Structures are given as C-alpha cells and as structure tokens.
Homo-oligomer: A and B are copies of this chain.
Amino acid sequence: MSNTRFATAVHILTILARSGPGWISSEWLAGSICMNPAMVRKELAALRDAGLVTGRKGKDGGSRLRKSGDLISLADIYRAVKNAEVLGRKNRNPSPQCPVGKSINSKLGQLYAETDQLVIDALENRTLSDFASQFD
C-alpha cells in the first residue's frame, strides 16, 4: 500500500463514529481531511461496498455508519481499501529454466499470504470505537 486510502477511510469513519445518528456530507468530511469532496465520495463508495456505511442523496443527505463502531474492526477497514500485498508484487515472468525462477512466485506467494494474514489478525483485534475514542 503506497496510497492514502486506509488513512482516508479511517478518518472518514472516525468522524462518522463520533457524529451520532446524523448524516454527514462529503463536503464536511472533505474539509476535515483537506481533500476534494469527489475523492471522499469515491472512498465512501468503497466503504459502502464493504457494508460499513450507508448514504442518502438529496437535501440534508450524507453518510453515516451502517453498524456500531464496536462492530467495525480496523481489519474490516483495511480489507475495504487494500489493493496490494504487504510485501509488494511479484515479478511477472521469472525463468522456468531456472530452479529458483521456476517456483519463486509460488514460494513468495506463501510468504506473502502469511504476512498479509498476520496484519489482518492484528487489526482484527482493534475496533473503530477504540480508535475513535482517542480524540477529544
């Protein structure tokens, strides 16, 4: 991950977790994150797909959590935005002639999967509520 998606998603969800049952506009979120409202809405789309938030169009519309912050783990958030493995990518065409090249991607694949799982497991133990409670 060399993007800001996890940071953006956590920021959004932290604000929603602290905002009670009201609808928060992308404009307001964008102001806090200092980011274009359209970018925020793109990230909200991913969180909606993951079942973490719900949105409402029209006047006084916006977004809010779809379930309690106690029931949202940081792993849920990570999964919603993750687009790369922790250890990065594999090379595309290692040589099948070479004993190493022939099976390196399979061996790296195991290592990559274990490493990703490690991170997921650690984030699984932390809730959005806990994270959000750190702020004033």
Measured between beta carbons, the chain B residues less than 8 angstroms from A4 are 88-91
Distance between Cα atoms of A87 and B11 in the complex (Å): 13
Please give me the residue from chain B that is nearest to A114 by CB atom.
Answer: B122
Q: What B residues does A25 contact at CB under 8 A?
A: none
Point out residues on A near B: beta carbons under 8 Å: 1-8, 10-11, 14-15, 18, 31-35, 74, 78, 83-95, 97-105, 107-108, 111, 114-115, 118-119, 122-123, 126, 131, 134-136
Q: A119-B119, A131-B107 are in contact. Are A1 and B87 (CB under 8 A)?
A: yes
CA distance A6 to B107 in the complex (A): 13
Q: What are 26 A-B residue pairs whose CB atoms fall within 8 Å in the complex? A: A1-B1, A1-B88, A2-B83, A2-B88, A2-B89, A3-B88, A6-B87, A7-B87, A7-B105, A11-B101, A14-B104, A33-B91, A33-B94, A34-B91, A34-B92, A35-B91, A78-B87, A86-B86, A86-B119, A99-B135, A102-B136, A103-B134, A103-B135, A107-B131, A107-B135, A118-B122
B10 touches A108 (CB 8 A): yes
Contact of B135 with A11 in the complex, beta carbons under 8 Å: no
Cβ 8 A contact of A7, one of B5, B89, B103, B131: B89
| Contact of B84 with A34 in the complex, beta carbons under 8 Å | no
User: Roughly how many angstroms separate A136 CA and B88 CA in the complex, as a whole number?
Assistant: 25
